[in-house]
Every structure is written in structure tokens, then in C-alpha cells.
Structure 1
Amino acid sequence: MRHTVQLSRYLLWLLCLAVPTQAAEESLEPYQPRFGRERPVVAVVGQNRMTELADYVVPLGVLRRSGHAQVLALANEAAPIELMPALSLRPDASIAEFRQRFPQGADYLIVPAVHDSRDPLLLEFIRQQAALGSTLVGICDGVLPLAHAGLLQGRRATGHWYSRSQRLKDFPDTLWQEDRRYVVDGALMTTSGVSAALPASLALVEAIAGHIRASTLAREFGVASWSPEHHSQGFALGAQGYLTASGNYLARWRHERFAVTLHDGLDEVALALRVDAWARTFRTQVYGVAPHTVRSAGGLAFVPQRDGAGLPALPGRQMDAARAIDEALDGIAGRYGEATRRLVAAQLEHAPAGSVNPVKGQIELHSP
């Protein structure tokens, strides 16, 4: 009996220790000013050839519009970035120019999913910023450059569900986490699939500017919560998903091209999420059209890809960021069918509000 009581007390003690740790482990430490800076310097770095659209644009838009950080869009070269799967953006500076301007480094370095996760220039830059004390943020499979840079050994991290098997094989010494929208391990933050960019960016705003500012900004985007709760193991393409993707891709006669009109002051966060969804159907190409380069609400420089002549407008309408993906998925289902909607939702790792998770059997009610 005495041993049973002692064991019960020991388990209770462990539980008491574990509860606050779990609550805190997905929260970044509040920003501590360095080098006499009034605001933190945040660098979002991509590759000129194929950087994931929402991974790159959403953190830039959210953090710039917070008004509490100096946020720079970087690329390997000072030339337009070809975003994947659509649109083009002119960066603020190249990696080399950023190094000259900020020799002490960034306070936060955000890395989206890129075409080449082993790019030597990118990996060298990531290692340098880590050595200078930057907090590292990998959005979606932006975790892969961090891993290839050798910065994840023994660390907790996550990534897009699609890369799970490869990550486990290539980086067995990383403590890969499941069912989290974002994972925080000290000065390291990583996220799950594409749709996690918005809640993770709000979590960053909370660390930099506090909960009240993050809450106010979340309301502007229509977001009720930026909780890390998520059921990533419920996503998969399956045989039907691959059949839908290949069928859509091979049926070239059914492919469509659409124009999305770019204009000064546009909501870049909602735009990125909406276009990212439509351009993943394997039937749709989306082009940004405008007579000249335009500046978004957050000051991002979108570069037009065509003049738009002869192209129909992208179906649907611009919604606030929290509803952008659901609105796009509804339009996709109406135009291409339910199977294509599921294909796109899986790629974005997005469970529409009110949907039943296929693995957990639970209702998803959180914001994207």
C-alpha cells in the first residue's frame, strides 16, 4: 500500500511538471532587443527559382502589417522570385546585400519551402544567421534546408505530411513531431503544411509584439485562433489522390488559364492562400496581371506575369485570409469535382471548418 501511494504521488508530481512544459513548448520566447534595435529585423529568404507562394508571402504580409518589425523579403539574387505554384515577387534585397546591410544578422530568419533544399548559398546563409543568434523559422518544408544545414540534430521539429517518410529516413536524429501546426524548440520554430503559415505567423507576432497585438491582427485576417493543435496524420493523397492528379494533368484539353488582377493595396495574405489553392488542381494555371509592378497592403512588390489579354478572371472572389482557402476549395469542387477539392486540401494540409478528420474522426472547427 505504501509503495502504491508513493507511486501515485510520483506520477502526480510528473504530471504537474509536464503540464506547464507542454503548454509552453509551442510558444516562442518574447523578443529581447539586440544591438540597440528599436524593432527586430525579420528576414524571409527564398530562391529566385520556385519558392512556395504561401510559405513566403504569408509571413511577409502578416509580420509587415503587424507594424512591429523590420521585415525584408530576400532571395539568392536581387531579381524577381518565381513563386510556386503561381505569381512573381520582387525581393527587397539579395542575400549578399542583406549581409552588407545587417552584419549582425537578423533577429528572426524565416525559410519557406524551396525548390532546392541543398542550395549551398542558402545553407551557408542559414548557418551564418544561426551562428549570429537568429531565431530560425521553417515554414512547411522550409524545415528541410534547416535540416540540411545541420541545425536539427536532437531538436523537436515538424514539416509537411508529404515529406514525413523522407525526413525520418534522411534525418533520424531529429525528434520529428506529428499532429502540430507548429513546433517550438528554443530558438527554433517549424510548421506543418502550407496552411500553417498563417497561424505560425500570428504566433511570431505574439512573440514580437505581444498577445493583444496578435489578437487584433488576427481579427483583421478573420482568424479566431492560432493554436498549434492540428491532425497532420489525417492527411494523405492515397490511390484516389494520385489518380486524380494524374488524370487532371494528362487531360491537357481540359486545362484552364486564369488571370488574377493585381492592384496597389491588395491583401497579399488572402491572395496567396487563394491562388495557392487554385494553382494546385493540376488543371489550372494562374497569372498575376497588371500594367506595372504593384505594392500590396504590406508593401510587397508583385511583378505582373502577363497583360491579361484574353484570359478569364480567376473564379470566386477575394475573401479575408481565414476564409480564402475554403472559398477557393468550394469553387474548385464546383468546377472540377469533389476529388480535386480533396487533392488540393491534402496538398495544403487544410481541413475545412466543420469537416471530419479521416483518421481521428473529430470535427475540425479551428481557423486555417
Structure 2
Amino acid sequence: MTKSMVLKGVATLLILGLIGFAGWIYTLPSAVASPEAPPVPREEVEALLSALTPKNTDRPTIAVIGINDDATETTDYLMPTGILRRADVADVVLLSTAKGPVQLYPALKVEPDATIAEFDAGNPGGADFVIVPAMSRDDHPAVMAWLQSQAQKGATIIGVCAGAKVVAAAGLLKDHRATTHWWYLSKFLKIDPSIDYVRDRRIVADDRVVTTTGISASMPVALMLIEAIAGRAKAEKVAQGLGVEHWGAEHASDAFRLTRGFATTVLGNVMAFWRRDTWQIEVEQGVDEVSLALVTDAWSRTYRSGVQTFNPSETMIETANGIRILPDITGTPDGKLESWGNLPPADVLDETLAKIGQVYGERTETIVAMQLEYPRQ
């Protein structure tokens, strides 16, 4: 076979591949509907709050589990922790599977409070609640064993976003009602086909297992947990500081699905690799960890940009609620993003999405909101 024949064969395969991909794109819906989220009956809300009510203590222990390598979702890990700590109604600990920092995805590096082994040594009775973020690996052996152990000790397990897949892989969702991030639904149901998927709910509880839809749902589930622990008035006070008026379980599932516009926008942004940006965010002592998580997460999901954190001199930053951030850079680099000032986190997210739209276009703004499964008004 001559060199020219090989080149022609390769070219033919590429053309056929592109034709096939174009055909697949054409099968996708051109857009999603914008349906109203159906109301959740009051008795279902009360059952959800009951499922989140601690059984044995006035000040429960809440453990948030992460794995050390580049695998634990940024907002899933940090936002519930920041919200619950500002409420000061529970002891909230950030855990890791091994010693050392937790490199989050898609951005930020955090020093956890303890390893799971250290937590177990100090809490032989287990946690009251365990929050499970999305992880790139659903079946991490240490996570599987620890979740099963915590469930046996009586902990309520909360799978945030695709963290529901991790909970399913641990065998804790067998024959349970549940939900997860829209993108991972088919994989979720393959892990455990016995799961009864619940549409149009942002938060689902069944027995002592709670699951949520995509990344942004970690805010309402944290507020609902505060309400269950300390009452409605306390949750309202925390919500006001976050810029949130409502944190119910309502959700319009049909508003989130793969479309032709989503696929073509992602493809176009990925192919424009020569125009990729790296944005730097300055992290200072006392920074709002919820806003920081949302900003870094959003700017890292454009398929056009990544994020680095920096501080002119500090190598360890403690956030407003005691989370220890390790900046990527010491010094002042170029490409700095403007600070969000004193805006509450919910407004910070809206403003960040708007800025992404200004820089990369409305379609990129939309795909970021879709990845966060953020029900925008």
C-alpha cells in the first residue's frame, strides 16, 4: 500500500466520521422547552424535611466527603459546607480519603479538616449526615466502604448532583426513589436499574437517602437541611444572606437536556483551542467560599477558559467560614477577574453568567447554566 493510498484512506475515514457526527447532531432537538416547574404537594415537602431532621442530637455532625486527586466537584464540596457553617447549627467537617490537599474539579485546591480514618477515630458512632459530591470515579474503594459504614451507623446520606451515582455505586439506592444531574441520568440508572427515577424534583428523599439534581441544587438542599435542623426562621435568615428567596424541591426536568445548540457550542468552543483563556481570581483572607466556588466553577465550564487562584503573598487562605484554600499562584498575574464585592452568592452567580455571555456569547452562557443545572428565571 502506497503512502498516498494511506493518506486517502485516513482522509476518507475523517470525512465519514464528520458526516456521522453531523448526522448525530441533526438528531438532537434544536432547543428545550421552558416549562413551569410543577408544584410540590405540602405533604411531600413535610416528608422531605422529616427525612432531613436529625434523630439523636440538637447539634448534628455533618461530614462532606472528597477524594484527594482531581475528581471531586468544586461547588458540591464547598457550597454546602460554607452555607451550613454560616448557619452554625451543626459541626461541619470537610473530609478526604487520604492525607494531603483535595484538588477539586474544575478548579480550586483545599486543605481538608481530616481524613475519613481520622474522623472515624474521633466519631466512632458516625456522622448524622454525610454529603457526597460528584466524583469522576463512582466506585472509589475507600469511599464505597466508608459510605456503607456510615449508613450502617445510621447516617443520612445526601448525594448532591452526580454524587448520587456514587451513592448508587455503594448500593445505598437499591429500590429507592432518587434523582441526579440530567447529563448523568442514563449512567445513573445503569449503575442500579432498581432505582425509581423521580422527574420534576430538585431534591428527593427516600428513607435515609437524599439525592439532588445538578450542581446548583447544593444551595437549596443545604437550606432545607438548615430548616430541618433549626427551623424555618433560621433558614430564612441564612437564605437572605445568600440572596435566595425560595429553596423548594420544584424543578422542571424538561428544561435540561442535550440539544443541537448545546452540542455545537461545546464543539465550537473546544475546537477554538488557540483562543483559550486562563482567568485569575484573587483569594483573600475571609473570602466568601460560596461565591468563590460558583465563580470558579462557572468560568471553568465555558470550554473556552480555565481559572487559577492567586494571592500576592499568602500560601494558605482561610475563607469566611473556615475553609482553607491553597492558591495556585503567589503573586499578581495577568488576566485578573474583577472581584464580586459584597454581592450575595446567588447574585454573584447571575452576574458571572452575564459576564460569560458578554465575553463568549449568549450560547456559551447557556451551556454553563445547563451544566450547573441552574433554573434561571
What is the TM-score when the length of structure 2 is the normalising length?
0.85
Q: 1:169 to 1:263 in 2, by over 3 A?
A: same
SS in 2 for 1:285: strand
1:44 aligns with 2:68: no
Structure 2 residue identity aligned to 1:306: I
1:334 aligns with 2:355: no
Unaligned runs of 5+ in 1: 1-17, 354-368
* 1:47 and 1:115 in contact (8 A); partners too: no
Match of 1:322 in 2: 346
Match of 1:298 in 2: 321
In the aligned structure 1, how far is the partner of 2:131 from the partner of 2:373? 20
Structure 2 residue identity aligned to 1:163: Y
Q: Which of these residues, 190, 194, 197, is aligned with residue 218 of structure 2?
A: 197
SS in 1 for 2:125: coil
1:146 aligns with 2:167: yes
* 2:169 and 2:191 in contact (8 A); partners too: no
Of residues 144-153 and 300-309 in structure 1, the stretch that sits farther from structure 2 once superposed is 300-309
SS in 2 for 1:288: strand
Q: 1:257 to 1:24 in 2, by over 3 A?
A: same
Q: 1:166 to 1:29 in 2, by over 3 A?
A: closer
In the aligned structure 2, how far is the partner of 1:346 from the partner of 1:187? 29
Shift of 1:236: 2.1
Match of 1:307 in 2: 330
1:68 aligns with 2:89: yes
* 1:237 and 1:343 in contact (8 A); partners too: no
* 1:79 and 1:90 in contact (8 A); partners too: yes
Shift of 1:93: 0.5
Shift of 1:280: 0.2
Match of 2:367 in 1: 343
Shift of 1:315: 4.8
1:277 aligns with 2:298: yes
In the aligned structure 1, how far is the partner of 2:242 from the partner of 2:42? 29
Alignment deviations for residues 179-199 of structure 1 (CA, whole Å, 9 cap, x no partner) = 111111232211000110101
1:98 aligns with 2:119: yes
The percentage of aligned residue pairs carrying the same residue is 38
SS in 2 for 1:333: helix
Shift of 1:60: 0.4
Q: Which of these residues, 49, 57, 80, is aligned with residue 27 of structure 1?
A: 49
SS in 2 for 1:140: coil
In the aligned structure 2, how far is the partner of 1:183 from the partner of 1:256? 38
Match of 2:268 in 1: 247
Shift of 1:351: 2.8
In the aligned structure 2, how far is the partner of 1:111 from the partner of 1:247? 33
SS in 2 for 1:297: coil
Structure 2 residue identity aligned to 1:56: Y
Unaligned runs of 5+ in 2: 1-39
Shift of 1:32: 4.1
Match of 1:159 in 2: 180
Q: Which of these residues, 108, 112, 121, is aligned with residue 142 of structure 2?
A: 121
In the aligned structure 2, how far is the partner of 1:239 from the partner of 1:68? 45
Alignment deviations for residues 60-116 of structure 1 (CA, whole Å, 9 cap, x no partner) = 001111111110000111211111111111100011111111111000000000121
Match of 1:236 in 2: 257
* 2:280 and 2:333 in contact (8 A); partners too: no
Q: 1:270 to 1:48 in 2, by over 3 A?
A: same
* 1:28 and 1:187 in contact (8 A); partners too: no
Structure 2 residue identity aligned to 1:330: A
Shift of 1:25: 3.4
Shift of 1:26: 2.9
Of residues 241-250 and 23-32 in structure 1, the stretch that sits farther from structure 2 once superposed is 23-32
In the aligned structure 1, how far is the partner of 2:318 from the partner of 2:219? 20
In the aligned structure 1, how far is the partner of 2:352 from the partner of 2:322? 24
In the aligned structure 2, how far is the partner of 1:97 from the partner of 1:127? 17
